[in-house]
Amino acid sequence: MVTLTQSKPSITIVGGGLAGLVCSIILSRNGFPVTLFEKKTYPFHRVCGEYISNEVIAFLKSLEIDLYRFNGAKITELAISSVSGRTFKTSLDLGGLGLSRFLLDDHLYHKALASGAKVVLGIKANNISFNDNQFEVLLEDGRLITSDFVIAAHGKRSNLDKARTFFTHRSPFIGVKYHIKTDFPKNLVQLDNFKDGYCGTVKIEDDKYCLCYLSHKNNIKTHGNLLDMEKAVLYENPLLKMLFQNSEFLYSKPEVINEISFERKGLVEDHVLFCGDSAGMISPLCGNGMAIAIHSAKILSDTLIAFYKNDRKVVEDLYSQQWRRYFSQRLAVGRLTQKLFGGRITSELAVRGLQTIKPLSNFIIKRTHGAPF
Ligand SMILES: Cc1cc2nc3c(=O)[nH]c(=O)nc-3n(C[C@H](O)[C@H](O)[C@H](O)COP(=O)(O)OP(=O)(O)OC[C@H]3O[C@@H](n4cnc5c(N)ncnc54)[C@H](O)[C@@H]3O)c2cc1C
């Protein structure tokens, strides 16, 4: 049993991305004392394709979060091109919304504050330990924060992951994001393959587009810098060459991240509850990590609300079971799909396959996307 010093257990959340913010909103609205630590300060840009699946819309509405208020783009079509520019196009049953993380995360941050969560910005958690049924979170300024539960929602890779198995395996992927102005369909999300990578383009709010790509780091090693790599590698795909050459790039430099890993991760380690990308990340090709982060935050928060009075193990086991039920297969199909793309021959075969075997695209989309929850 969790020994309670107050009516509801205190909860520390590390990381204020979608998973951490949604947990903080739900739990503080249900009377839990919540403190969230985020190392950055909102609003800020992050590497993300900024296509959010419509499966989250109804749930967010139930939290009085209306994603349509920002005039994002309604996305109804998907196009995938091979390295040579051969293109497969299909309509998306459920579809999604193009919206920048700059707006989305900042909006959720304000919702978290309004819900009663304490949100501390600009400070990093350096360690989490568990002793005598209590957690201690060590902050970079030396403060020790104690609580009954800790939710680790620190994203795909963080200083807090150093002791986790996946951390020791180097990951070969880098992510790069630009905001651009360009002439491009407003309702389309397009995935263009290039050698050892792929690039997504989607309209977001105002008259802006998000252009975000994932590349093997060998590309950058070979060409020395992003600009030369883009010209030598991404421009091989004629659709990407056209996009890059006919767009206005809005920021002086792109957002870049390294070491993106799709490996399996633990869901609960030393009683810490992992949520969002820190529990497992789906290939960005499947365009669904944001929905999984939000859905996993709902599952974890609902489990805590319903079972916090029971033994910790009940919460941990039920959360893990639910997480696996909803996401394990999606992540596995995502890992497989990722292998099909990013190669000259495999992307050509994959696009030809999608063009000729119609049920294949439905199969992949259905197996990597969820239903509204
Ligand atoms: C190239 C690329 C393209 C993508 N495109 C899409 C897409 O189009 N659609 C989609 O749905 N998903 C996409 N994703 C996936 C999506 O971005 C993630 O799944 C989603 O952001 C996960 O949310 P999260 O809350 O788990 O983590 P994050 O959003 O990464 O948030 C984690 C937060 O924790 C903070 N943090 C980390 N360590 C600490 C610490 N020690 N102390 C305090 N704070 C800390 C970080 O600053 C960060 O704000 C893409 C991912 C990549 C890499």
Determine the pLDDT at residue 187: 98
Other beta carbons less than 10 A from residue 118's beta carbon: 15
pLDDT digits (tens, 9 = 90+) for 238-275: 999 999 999 999 988 999 999 887 788 999 999 999 99
293 has pLDDT over 70: yes
C-beta of residue 137 within 8 angstroms of C-beta of residue 10: no
User: Candidates 35, 178, 277: which one to mutate for ligand 1, based on the most atoms within 8 Å of Cβ?
Assistant: 277
Position with higher pLDDT, 237 vs 260 = 237
Ramachandran assignment for 221, one of left (phi > 0), alpha (psi -120 to 50 degrees), beta (any other): alpha
Q: Which atom of ligand 1 is nearest to the CA of 159?
A: 41
Query: 353 phi and psi, to 5 degrees?
Result: -60, -45
Q: Which CATH superfamily is domain 11-169+260-368 in?
A: FAD/NAD(P)-binding domain (3.50.50.60)
| Rounded average pLDDT over 285-306 | 93
| Rounded average pLDDT over 278-289 | 83
Whole-number Å distance, alpha carbon 37 to ligand 1 midpoint, is 15
Q: How many whole angstroms separate alpha carbon 79 and alpha carbon 335?
A: 20
Whole-number Å distance, alpha carbon 156 to ligand 1 midpoint, is 6
**Strand segments (E) across the chain:** 11-14, 34-38, 51-53, 73-81, 87-98, 118-121, 125-131, 134-139, 144-147, 149-152, 173-181, 188-194, 197-203, 209-216, 248-249, 255-257, 268-269, 272-274
Q: What is the distance, to the nearest Å, from the Cα of residue 260 to the centroid of all Cα atoms in its chain?
A: 11
Q: How many whole angstroms separate alpha carbon 248 and alpha carbon 257?
A: 22
**Bridge partner list, 274:** 152
Count Cα atoms within 13 angstroms, Cβ side, for 256. Answer: 12
**Bridge partner list, 35:** 12, 118
Q: How many whole angstroms separate alpha carbon 65 and alpha carbon 334?
A: 28
pTM above 0.75, yes or no: yes
Query: 169 phi and psi, to 5 degrees?
Result: -90, 120
pLDDT digits (tens, 9 = 90+) for 140-151: 999 999 999 999
Q: Which atom of ligand 1 is nearest to the CA of 51?
A: 8
| All structural domains of the chain with their residue ranges | 11-169+260-368
| Rounded average pLDDT over 228-246 | 97
Whole-number Å distance, alpha carbon 136 to ligand 1 midpoint, is 24
Ligand 1 shell residues, CB under 6 Å: 14-20, 37-40, 47-52, 124-125, 153-156, 158-160, 175, 200, 212, 214, 260, 276-277, 281, 284, 287-291, 293
Whole-number Å distance, alpha carbon 4 to ligand 1 midpoint, is 32
Buried b (16+ CB within 10 A) or exposed e, 230-256: beebbbbbebbbbbbeebeeeeeebbe
4 has pLDDT over 70: no
Count Cα atoms within 13 angstroms, Cβ side, for 87. Answer: 14
287 has pLDDT over 70: no
Determine the pLDDT at residue 339: 75
Whole-number Å distance, alpha carbon 22 to ligand 1 midpoint, is 13
331 has pLDDT over 50: yes
Average confidence score pLDDT of the chain:
92
Q: How many whole angstroms separate alpha carbon 42 and alpha carbon 106?
A: 6
Whole-number Å distance, alpha carbon 195 to ligand 1 midpoint, is 25
Q: Would you state the structure tokens that stand for residue 129, as one six-digit string?
A: 């330990």
Q: Which atom of ligand 1 is nearest to the CA of 279?
A: 26
The dihedral through the CA atoms of 354, 192, 175, 111 has a sign that is: negative
Span of 18-27, 62-71, 246-255, 359-368 with lowest mean pLDDT: 359-368
Percentage, residues of the chain above pLDDT 90? 78
pLDDT digits (tens, 9 = 90+) for 185-210: 999 999 999 999 999 999 999 999 99
What confidence category does residue 168 fall into, taking pLDDT thresholds of 50, 70 and 90? confident
User: Candidates 26, 39, 109: which one to mutate for ligand 1, based on the most atoms within 8 Å of Cβ?
Assistant: 39
| Rounded average pLDDT over 116-137 | 97
What confidence category does residue 343 fall into, taking pLDDT thresholds of 50, 70 and 90? confident
User: Candidates 108, 145, 158: which one to mutate for ligand 1, based on the most atoms within 8 Å of Cβ?
Assistant: 158
Q: How many whole angstroms separate alpha carbon 100 and alpha carbon 179?
A: 9
